[in-house]
Amino acid sequence: MELKTQNNNKKMKNSEILELSTEELVARLSEERSTLTKLKFAHAVSAIENPTRITKVRKGIAQLNTELTKRKAASASEKN
């Protein structure tokens, strides 16, 4: 059973992440977390066709979190 995501298993480029607004980043982050949960359950029940997708989704979540943290730090430094 192979789950399809919106991006068809394509890694988001950093330039694409930078173009997203903060609200879009948060929405995308929740989508990716949901995808990761579904993949983990599917893999636990029966081996998924491409288990490296779990790693790719995890790395994508890390990229989104990194950009979100950068933006929060930038907004915090602007306030000071």
Q: What would be the CATH architecture of the domain defined by 20-79?
A: Orthogonal Bundle (1.10)
Closest CA to 31 of 6, 49, 54: 6
Whole-prediction pTM? 0.81
Q: What are the extents of the domains in the chain?
A: 20-79
Pair 20, 69: CB distance under 8 Å: no
Give the pLDDT confidence of 11-69 residue by residue, as tens digits. 788 889 889 999 999 999 999 999 999 999 999 999 989 999 999 999 999 999 999 99
Per-residue pLDDT, 67: 94
Please give the Cα distance from 80 to 27 (Å, whole number): 28
**Cβ atoms within 10 Å of 9's Cβ, excluding its own:** 13
